[in-house]
Structure formats: structure tokens, C-alpha cells
């Protein structure tokens, strides 16, 4: 995210708190913390019986573009740095600067990606490269804001903003506020810190995104469901939206009216090597009451129904099997009302609904099922 975008986002977040559209039940969800309840104490106790205390695996960090950007350890970085040329080592590991007009990528006009020479993380694209006339490769934006970190550089009697690879902390160059539109920024890079992968060429494994999978869950107010899924190790993104309805691209007000057939849902993109679809579904049954029909807590209406909307037939079979297992084990005193069906079109909700709990601190679901779910798998 650029500085200008960050300012606009902050303003937009503030305004959203004052102009938030609502349907009849939204006041209840916005003005109180709604604790997870069931219609009787046995359902509540049954849910508790599904959980045991355990320890979460180490949580990895993912960018929105699907890359694992978990910071590497000093040992891992040192091992990767052994392969570098003396110049690349000087620049990336000792914050060096190559002479102007001497780098091999200054005049490169080919289409492709510029990746970190140390860890392979994609950093910049030819789509944002421009001729700054400075003698160093220049770009007006990274491929993903999360791939580049910044820190103050006070060397040489001046204050500049240094940019580093977010995954391996390697020095890349500096960013200045004298670039072209649309960002007004100039990311000034050392060629020695980059490796160029031409478009059409197979990317090395270290430069590939996670082979992710996607699933969709509806469990009442999507604010809380989204937040709890965001807390799960292995979840790359969780996005609020509307699903399984008839109207194309509905608004929040239309969905609240109950005429579109949509359910408030959350799109979960996850790393299956860290957390499985089955584990996500198990956590889903712990974060809400699946026996309630067309409601969840104080929120009433078909848009608050419980549902698992599957991307593949394999997910569908697993979800049905889990429902059958929970039913046979009598984990709930009433029948599970969760819809289990193949996913239809997911329509993202308005921006003010995204990351709502982080923006406001207001919670409409409580509890963290992931220590229990992931611990049980050990």
C-alpha cells in the first residue's frame, strides 16, 4: 500500500463508522459483543465437549497475492546468502549501493518479474518500471505492498527510507516521493539485489505463490466469522461477501431485505499444507451454533443461515461426512441445520464490511477454535 492509499484508507475507515448502512438487526450486532449461544444449555455444553486445550502450530504470514512471506531466520538467510556473488552480498547483506548506470537491469525493457536475489520473492514488475534517469532500476509500486518493508536510513548525513525484502530482510534500495502517477513514488533499486524472470519463463519454486485452495462458510454475521478464520494458521485471506442467491452483485441493503436469497458468507483462501478443509470445517462448527435455522444470536433472517459452500466435489463429500459424524456422535442436541452444497458465485461485500473487527474492535462471534482443531490432529 502506498502512502497516499494508506491515508485514503484511514479516512474511509473513519467515515464508514459514521455512515454504515444497516438493516433492522444490525444495531444489535454493532452495539454489543454477542457471545456464542445456543438455544439450550445442552447444545452449548456439547460444543464445549468438542474442544480440548492444545498448542497452535507456528503461524505463517501470507501476502494477499498468495505468497508465504514469513520472515526467514538468520540461519536461513545466511545459508541463502552463500550463493550470492560478492557484489550481491555487499549490496543485500551490508546495505551497499552499486554505482549509477552500472547495474545490468537499468535499461532492461523486457516484460517480467523482478525477484529478490536472495530468497526469490517477487518484488516488482515490468508493468511499474519507468526510466527515472537516475541510473538505477526504478518502479512506481511493488507487486504487493506486503513484499517490501521500509525503515528509516540515517546514513550519509541524511534521512532516507530504506526498502528491504519482507521475507529475508535483504537490502534493496530506497523509496522517494518524486515518482510518477499513480503513486507518486520512486522505488530506486540495486540491480544486484534483483533477479529478473522474463514473462513466459517458468518461475523458480521460491518465486511461486502458495498452491492455495478456497472454501466458503456462512455462520451468521460475516464480521465475526471472517475474523475467526483470519486467526487460523494457514489461512491466506478471509473475505466477507454474499453467496447462494439469485440477484447479480447484490448490495448489503438488498441482502438484508431477505429477497435475494443470499447468505452472509466468508471466502477463505488457505494453504492446505498447513490447514486442511476438514479442519476449517471443524473450526466452523465450533464458532457458531449450526442448529439454529435462519438466524445466529440476535441476527434473524435467511441471510444469517448456516452453510458450507464447497469449491470441489471432494470438499462437498468431506463436509457431508463431517455433518454425519457430528450427528451420529450427538454433538448437538438438535439437528444440524447447516446447508452443505457446491458454491455458486461469491459476491464480495462492500469495503466497510471487510476486516470489520480489526477496524472497530466490535465482535459478533467469540472464541478461538484453532488450538483445539489443530491440536487434535497431532
Q: Could you tell me which of 282, 278, 290 has the C-alpha nearest to residue 370? A: 282
Burial of 59 (0-12, 13-18, 19+ CB in 10 A): middle
Q: Are 243 and 263 in contact (CB under 8 A)?
A: yes
CA distances to 32, 198, 226, 360, 363 from 355, in Å: 17, 36, 7, 9, 11
**Active-site residue identified among 221, 256, 310, 364:** 221
Tell me if the bond preceding 163 is cis, omega within 30° of 0.
Answer: no
Q: Are 161 and 109 in contact (CB under 8 A)?
A: no
Phi, psi of 307 (to 5 degrees): -160, 145
Q: Could you tell me which of 212, 168, 162 has the C-alpha nearest to residue 190? A: 162
Sheet with 138-139, strands from edge to edge, namely 129-130, 138-139, 186-189, 171-176, 160-165, 148-153
Q: Are 1 and 175 in contact (CB under 8 A)?
A: no
Please give the Cα distance from 125 to 194 (Å, whole number). 11
Q: Known catalytic residue: 168?
A: no
Please give the Cα distance from 115 to 118 (Å, whole number). 9
Q: Are 40 and 210 in contact (CB under 8 A)?
A: no
Task: Provide the 10 A C-beta neighbour count for residue 357.
Answer: 17
Q: Known catalytic residue: 115?
A: no
**Active-site residue identified among 165, 188, 256, 310:** 188
Task: Provide the 10 A C-beta neighbour count for residue 355.
Answer: 17
Active-site amino acid positions = 188, 221
Amino acid at each position: 500500500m502506498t502512502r497516499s492509499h494508506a491515508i485514503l484508507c484511514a479516512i474511509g475507515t473513519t467515515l464508514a463508522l459514521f455512515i454504515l448502512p444497516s438493516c433492522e438487526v444490525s444495531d444489535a450486532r454493532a452495539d454489543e459483543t454477542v457471545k456464542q449461544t445456543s438455544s439450550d444449555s445442552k447444545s452449548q455444553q456439547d460444543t464445549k465437549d468438542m474442544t480440548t486445550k492444545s498448542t497452535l502450530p507456528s503461524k505463517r504470514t501470507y501476502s494477499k497475492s498468495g505468497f508465504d512471506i514469513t520472515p526467514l531466520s538468520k540461519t536461513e538467510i545466511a545459508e541463502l546468502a552463500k550463493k550470492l556473488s560478492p557484489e550481491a552480498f555487499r549490496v543485500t547483506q551490508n546495505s551497499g549501493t552499486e554505482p549509477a548506470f552500472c547495474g545490468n537491469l537499468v535499461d532492461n525493457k523486457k516484460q517480467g518479474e523482478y525477484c529478490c536475489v536472495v530468497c526469490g520473492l517477487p518484488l516488482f514488475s515490468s508493468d511499474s518500471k519507468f526510466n527515472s534517469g537516475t541510473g538505477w532500476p526504478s518502479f512506481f509500486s511493488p507487486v504487493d505492498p506486503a513484499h517490501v518493508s521500509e525503515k528509516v536510513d540515517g546514513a550519509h548525513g541524511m534521512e532516507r527510507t530504506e526498502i528491504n525484502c519482507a521475507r529475508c530482510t535483504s537490502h534493496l534500495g530506497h523509496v522517494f516521493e518524486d515518482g510518477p502517477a499513480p503513486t507518486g513514488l520512486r522505488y530506486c533499486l540495486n540491480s544486484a539485489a534483483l533477479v529478473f524472470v522474463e514473462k513466459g519463463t517458468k518461475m523458480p519454486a521460491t518465486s511461486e505463490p502458495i498452491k492455495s485452495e478456497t472454501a466458503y462458510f456462512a455462520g451468521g454475521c460475516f464480521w465475526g466469522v471472517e475474523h475467526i478464520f483470519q486467526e487460523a494458521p494457514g489461512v491466506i485471506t478471509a473475505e466477507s461477501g454474499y453467496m447462494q442467491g439469485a440477484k447479480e452483485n447484490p448490495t448489503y441493503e438488498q441482502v438484508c431485505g431477505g429477497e435475494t436469497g443470499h447468505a452472509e458468507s466468508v471466502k477463505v483462501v488457505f494453504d492446505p499444507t498447513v490447514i486442511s478443509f476438514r479442519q476449517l470445517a471443524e473450526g466452523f462448527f465450533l464458532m457458531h451454533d449450526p442448529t439454529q435455522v435462519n438466524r445466529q444470536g440476535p441476527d434473524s433472517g435467511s441471510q444469517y443461515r448456516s452453510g458450507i459452500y464447497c469449491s470441489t466435489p471432494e470438499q462437498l463429500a468431506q463436509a457431508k461426512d463431517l455433518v454425519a459424524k457430528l450427528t451420529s456422535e450427538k454433538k448437538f442436541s438438535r439437528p444440524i441445520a447447516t446447508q452443505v452444497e457446491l458454491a455458486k458465485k461469491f459476491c464480495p461485500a462492500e469495503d466497510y464490511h471487510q476486516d470489520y473487527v480489526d477496524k472497530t474492535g466490535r465482535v459478533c462471534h467469540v472464541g478461538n477454535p484453532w488450538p483445539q482443531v489443530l491440536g487434535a490432529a497431532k
